Amino acid sequence: MLPVDYRALISQADLIYHSPVEQSVEGQPIGNGRMGTLVWTTVNAIHCQINRNDVFALNREHLGQQFDSVDYCGGGAAITLDLGNEVFCGEVFEQRLSLYEAEVSVTGNGVRIRCFISAVTDVLVLEVDDRREKPQPVRLSVSMWREPQVKTGAHVAGYQFDECQDGVILVQRFEEGDYHGASAVAAQVVRAGITIAVPNHRSRTIVAPANNGPTMILISSAASLNFTEGLAGPPLKEMKATALKVLQEASDRSYDALVAEHRGWWSNFWSRTFVQVESKDGLGEFMARLRNLHLYNLAATSRGMLPPKWNGSLFTTEGDTRRWGSQFWVWTTEMLYFPLFAADAIELTEPYFSMYLRHLPACQKAAQQRWGVSGAFFPETTSFDGPTVLPDDIAVECRDVLLGQKTPPELSARAFALCQFDSHLRAATNPTAGRYTWISHLVSSGSELAVQAWWRYRYRGEQEWLRTGAYPLLRETVEFYRHLVRKGDDGCYHLDGMNVHEDFWGVKDGIMDLAALRGTVPLAIIAAERLDVDAELRAKWQELLDNLAPYPMGYQEESKALSGGVLADDVWAAGQRGEVDGQHNPEDVWLTPVFPFEDWTLETREGKIDDIVQRALDLAPWMPALFTGAKLGTAIRTPIVWCRAGRGEQLPALLASYYAAFTPLPNGFSLFEGQQAHSVEHLGCISTVLQEALLQSLSPRPGKAEVVSVFPAWPKEWDASFRLLARGGFLVTSAVRNGEVEFVALDSRAGETCRIRNPWHQPCLLRELDGEVTELEGEILNFETEKGKHYRLLPKGKEHSQHQIISPPKVTQASSYSLKLPNGTVHQSTLGRK
């Protein structure tokens, strides 16, 4: 195994600011997966906004509109720590986020701040070390941005302040019908001589006397959230008591004691996997930093009851303002989670999968009510508690609209009113948009979730997850499609009038739907076999798969009739034209059979299909546009497909172009979705691309045995080493130098048969740790493994050599890259502030 100094390696991605932020969204993120904030400065103060991922002002039963004045979530309180004078300016200023320790430090004129949100309890711990010749009082303000009570129709948002020992607590409540939500933020300055000031009805200020030396400040939070499906948070009184208890327990300990257990959690997190890259121009190292930054963000935001919102996450800074509102998009959320499987951070996917599994009963109802079929329909966009369950008479009206038997203007006033918040219903019943809109007939999102649940099963091999997570999603989404398809005169099953994601609307045989079926039906069959259930359904699923319509091709007249849907005659087409012509939100949908549905991989090796995929990649419009400097307004998956297709020599240009296309902020976030919708979706894609370039573990076809492949899409000019998780439960470590793979080591967690593509194309020696040596040969090396054992592969004739510890030098400046492409385009960016 490679020796790694994880602290030194992860610290390469520290956010270093040598000048204060220009806008609050440039702040540095800290969080524990449930509560979080950006930390930013003004000339005399530190600022935070305490956010939680279980605070929602409303649920799916809201009687107003999507994006109305109460469609918000997350915010608990604004925090301002005023230190007096102009302390955060000038040459002495430095703000640094240590990723390895998840701790922010700020150095100002005579003042030093350090802070973190505990990984083990819901409290922000902050220490002010005032070394000024004339120290100033510490003034900690806890504020709310709304009036104490705001009534909007049937919705009420209210809050109140109470004093607690040496501090204050702010409790806010939301009520509408049967829905109740609440949060509490408690703050304390751990010092004697505290006073509480009331500057106005929206704020309370804790004032501590001037003092040389350290002063500790604590800010805790808690929330209560009742779900439509019966899952509820703690009652209001208990929630408030929880926040105060956390505060009290923390106040009995020192900053150093609290940070020690916090650092312990993060140290364990970082020690699981790693990626280390060496490139002549520093671009490879920069991209490895972005991977670590993304993993940090997910560990800081995805350990609670619900996943983070992609739009602002736990890091909004302007109160309730959050562009795109409180509902979840599958497309924008899933990108955050793609790299976590190979990064061996699968427990961070728990909030994501748990939320959608809780939605399953409502999605089964949605399939019946909206489409008139069995199975489960997962709308692309939905509330945290799932799609709205309609009264039966209203459901009939909505179904008639979706199936084209009624137009939206023909809806009753009651039906129209009940369809204004649920994002899918709102899109489907828009009276001015026609029958088809962005997500009205987008039905493949549930299949994406099901495929990802299968990935989780294959990475960990947990039979219980297969039974309770992966199979229910596979079964119900396949059943939905099985009842949605119609058998044509040609004997094939077809789909008519569906969207190809948000790109093409109302088409026949959309490529993404057909890819979804080919990517999930085999998995559902295998899962049912392994669980020994649903024998009759297995036969029906196989019959569906055997007779499924082929992918549309560019040479077909029906395909050519769809404007923008054809790349070339000999390449898959987006679909065949239905009622709506043209392209709407370009997403390179021709590539969806490759990713996420894996109907083609590098292991497929079928010449005709191989040619189609490679030609589609050449012709799909987004990457050529990015290579010339185009900007992105959506996080396309095309770079992942380039890696899946083995295009390693183009990896540097691909990564540099993709990152620059989002005009990232100094903290790595991007505002491509709009103000207060800052996102790290692009980091999720880059992290996935980097890992897929280093390691793939894919099947020739969905459900077949996976083949491990090291450096399948890696540029020869970049050296690298890594430890990543492969499907089958193999923790793989390897290194490449000067284009030559040095070794491959595997730890078997599940005891499965290992199939690995021979990286040397010559006979190899397989050595068990302290065990026997076996000679293997062939392009694919097959060997049995035992759970818990370690294996090492070397080419025959090469001796194992000791490797120096991976320990890069400490960084002290913001990191940058600049890459000039052959076409003359220069892509560059900086992480941090100079």
DSSP secondary structure string for all residues of 446-459:
HHHHHHHHHHHHHH
Beta sheet of 695-698, edge-to-edge order: 695-698, 707-710, 754-757, 780-783
d(CA 29, CA 26): 9
Reading the block at residue 268, the tokens are 């364990």
Helix (H) or strand (E) holding 391: none
The reply to whether 424 and 546 lie within a common domain is yes
Mean pLDDT lowest among 347-351, 430-434, 688-692: 430-434
Find out whether 592 and 575 touch, Cβ atoms under 8 Å: no
Find out whether 570 and 510 touch, Cβ atoms under 8 Å: no
> Which segments of 118-202 are extended strands (E)?
123-130, 138-143, 149-152, 155-164, 167-176, 179-190, 195-200
Output the pLDDT for position 784: 97
Quick check: is 482 in a domain? yes
Helices (H) and strands (E) in the chain, counts: 20, 36
The reply to whether 229 and 334 lie within a common domain is no
Band (pLDDT 50/70/90 cuts) for residue 230 is low
d(CA 255, CA 125): 7
Domain end position, chosen among 578, 599, 620: 599
Residues 172-224 pLDDT 10s: 999 999 999 999 999 999 999 999 999 999 999 999 999 999 999 999 999 99
d(CA 668, CA 293): 8
Output the pLDDT for position 163: 86
Q: Give the count of alpha carbons within 13 A of 406, CB side only.
A: 19
**pLDDT over 90 (residue 232):** no
The reply to whether 367 and 478 lie within a common domain is yes
- In order of 458, 562, 591, the CA distances from 551 in angstroms are 27, 15, 12
Reading the block at residue 136, the tokens are 């100033």
The reply to whether 71 and 213 lie within a common domain is yes
Neighbours of 201 (CB within 10 A): 10
**pLDDT over 80 (residue 770):** no
Helix (H, G, I), strand (E, B) or coil at 268: helix
The reply to whether 202 and 55 lie within a common domain is yes
Output the pLDDT for position 308: 98
The reply to whether 210 and 352 lie within a common domain is no
Q: Which residues contact 705 (CB under 8 A, 6 or more apart)?
A: 699, 753, 755
**pLDDT over 90 (residue 434):** no
Give the mean model confidence (pLDDT) for residues 48-54.
98
d(CA 641, CA 652): 15
Output the pLDDT for position 235: 75
Considering only CA atoms, which of 353, 361, 417 is closest in space to residue 389? 361
Reading the block at residue 757, the tokens are 């593509």
Q: What is the CATH number of the domain that holds 100?
A: 2.70.98.50
> Pairing relation of β-strands 773-776 and 780-783?
unpaired
The reply to whether 367 and 249 lie within a common domain is no
Quick check: is 622 in a domain? no
The residue type found at 82 is D
The residue type found at 731 is L
The reply to whether 130 and 243 lie within a common domain is yes
**Mean pLDDT over each residue of the chain, to the nearest integer:** 96
> Pairing relation of β-strands 111-117 and 103-107?
antiparallel
Quick check: is 670 in a domain? no
The reply to whether 417 and 507 lie within a common domain is yes
Quick check: is 21 in a domain? no
Quick check: is 683 in a domain? no
**pLDDT over 70 (residue 558):** yes
The residue type found at 125 is V
Alpha helical stretches, state H, 220-270:
236-251, 255-270
Considering only CA atoms, which of 687, 496, 671 is closest in space to residue 24? 671
Q: Which domain holds residue 77?
A: 32-271
Domain end position, chosen among 599, 628, 661: 599
Quick check: is 725 in a domain? no
Considering only CA atoms, which of 484, 598, 499 is closest in space to residue 549? 484
Give the mean model confidence (pLDDT) for residues 511-518.
99
Give the mean model confidence (pLDDT) for residues 337-359.
99
Domain end position, chosen among 599, 614, 648: 599
**pLDDT over 90 (residue 803):** no
Total structural domains within the chain? 2
Reading the block at residue 423, the tokens are 């994002």
Tell me: cis bond preceding 596? Omega within 30 of 0 counts.
Answer: yes
DSSP secondary structure string for all residues of 797-816:
TPPP-----B-PPPP-S-EE
Residues 360-416 pLDDT 10s: 999 999 999 999 999 999 999 999 999 999 999 999 999 999 999 999 999 999 999
Band (pLDDT 50/70/90 cuts) for residue 233 is low
Quick check: is 633 in a domain? no
d(CA 426, CA 419): 5
The residue type found at 311 is N
The reply to whether 385 and 262 lie within a common domain is no
Find out whether 666 and 22 touch, Cβ atoms under 8 Å: no
The residue type found at 449 is L
Output the pLDDT for position 341: 99
The reply to whether 253 and 368 lie within a common domain is no
Output the pLDDT for position 229: 55
Give the mean model confidence (pLDDT) for residues 499-523.
98
**pLDDT over 80 (residue 652):** yes
The residue type found at 103 is E
Band (pLDDT 50/70/90 cuts) for residue 166 is confident
- In order of 56, 269, 337, 768, the CA distances from 306 in angstroms are 11, 20, 13, 42
Output the pLDDT for position 431: 83
Output the pLDDT for position 483: 98
Output the pLDDT for position 227: 66
The reply to whether 364 and 477 lie within a common domain is yes
Angle at 303 between CA 300 and CA 309, to 5 degrees: 70
493: left (phi over 0), alpha (psi -120 to 50) or beta: beta
pTM: 0.97
Quick check: is 416 in a domain? yes
Residues 613-639 pLDDT 10s: 999 999 999 999 999 999 999 999 999
Burial of 178 (0-12, 13-18, 19+ CB in 10 A): exposed
Beta bridge partners of 633: none
